[in-house]
Structure 1
Amino acid sequence: MQDKNPEDVSDELLNSFVDHQLTSEERQEILSRLKRDRVLSDRVCELQHLKEMTRLAFDDIPPSRLPKRVIEEPRSLPRMVAAAAIFCLGLLLGMVGLPQWGNGEDRNGQTASARNDSLTKVLVHLSSADEAAALNTLGNLEQMLAEYRSKGEPVLVEVIANGGGVKLLGPDTPAIAERIAHLSASYDNLSFAACRNTIEQLQLTEGARIQLLPEVKLIDSGVVEVIRRQRDGWAYIRG
């Protein structure tokens, strides 16, 4: 059975999938989702085709004006179309045997019918190291939490950071650290999480040592958690 809403997987995640920027575990999560959702599979195929056709546009630019990487990796139209076709065929044929999602239970063993439908669940995804944008997101988040509190309406919010976003959840960005400390002390229905995969990758590629704030918990994969939350009906906000 297909998911009712194939749009709940963000374009950012699909772009990362198509560009092979995910870990094996993260790709497994998305492939499993694609196996169950034909509409979502079509979105991925269209995205792959669009990327290939965009690369094709470089063929009309004189070589002297092309970036070196593009000059060294020329692609003909037949080759590009074939690549897109093979990619989409792989989605249809290569996903057989992947595990299905569970029997309707979430990670805590709670069935969908047992969840409180009146509870609004919001996922905020931070994937950029843009401090100004993150501060703006946290400001909007505080306004939303205050509004729900004033109306007596239940809401649960989780902020998940991966990519460049994990760099904002440490003491090196004091303005954000202060805002997170304030929000965490004011709202017990708000949590922050950082991706372990990203942190380990930054340590390997940049030699960076990421120190997280005490209010931030560590999760194995930010992308996997985002997909799970969206699957469970959480509203998605890209920070």
Structure 2
Amino acid sequence: MRFITRISALLLSALMATATFAQDGLADHKLALQISDNNPQKMNTVLNVAANVVRYYENQGETVEVRIVAFNAGLHMLREDTSPVLKRLSSFGASMPNVTFAACSNTIAGMTKKEGKAPPIVSLAEKVSAGVVDLMTLDENGWTIVRP
């Protein structure tokens, strides 16, 4: 009986560690994908890569985080008014909770100045001060950076 109690305690500890691991955002694998072109084909490629990577690691029983960072002309992919992939973004955000989106505030400021108003960014995107700095910080923290 004592052996079963120890096994149960070990299993409970492992489950709690896994839950804490997931809550802390610590994943076995971390991938950042760059989109800097106003090109729906490239954005679809980025979304395909994200989905394929998530499925692969989930099938392996491993955790993965994917962050898609949009800056420069690629920010159009995250704009509610100009994104040619808006419908896919909406469904993607709902079906892939371990994929996040980052929108460059420097690019937003440039677009605001040029257009006279702030561009509407999709709600699933987090605004970061600078897209390239976000990528650099992710790289410095062990993320793999890919530009499909």
TM-score of the superposition, structure 2-length normalised?
A: 0.75
* Conserved 8 A contact 2:32-2:135: yes
Q: Secondary structure at the match of 1:125?
A: strand
Distance 1:196 1:167, change over 3 A: same
* Conserved 8 A contact 2:50-2:99: no
CA displacement 1:74-102 (0-9 Å, x = unmatched): xxxxxxxxxxxxxxxxxxxxxxxxxxxxx
Q: Secondary structure at the match of 1:159?
A: strand
Q: Which residue is equivalent to 2:85?
A: 176
Give the number of the structure whose alpha-carbon radius of gyration is greater: 1
* Number of residue-to-residue matches in the alignment: 125
Q: Secondary structure at the match of 2:85?
A: helix
TM-score of the superposition, structure 1-length normalised?
A: 0.48
2:129 to 196, 201, 220: 220
Q: Which residue is equivalent to 2:69?
A: 160
2:102 to 193, 196, 203: 193
Gaps in structure 1 of 5+ consecutive residues: 1-114
Name the one with the larger strand percent: 2
Cα distance in 1 between the residues matched to 2:73 and 2:80: 15
Shift of the alpha carbon at 1:171? 2.3
Amino acid at match of 1:200: A
Q: Tell me which of the two structures has the higher relative contact order, counting C-alpha pairs closer than 8 angstroms and 6 or more residues apart.
A: 2
Cα distance in 2 between the residues matched to 1:200 and 1:192: 18
Distance 1:185 1:208, change over 3 A: same
CA displacement 1:9-67 (0-9 Å, x = unmatched): xxxxxxxxxxxxxxxxxxxxxxxxxxxxxxxxxxxxxxxxxxxxxxxxxxxxxxxxxxx
Shift of the alpha carbon at 1:206? 4.6
User: Which deviates more from structure 2 when the two are superposed, residues 149-158 or residues 166-175?
Assistant: 166-175
CA displacement 1:95-153 (0-9 Å, x = unmatched): xxxxxxxxxxxxxxxxxxxx998710100111111111111221222122112112211
Q: Secondary structure at the match of 1:217?
A: strand
Shift of the alpha carbon at 1:172? 3.1
Distance 1:118 1:194, change over 3 A: closer
Q: Secondary structure at the match of 1:129?
A: coil
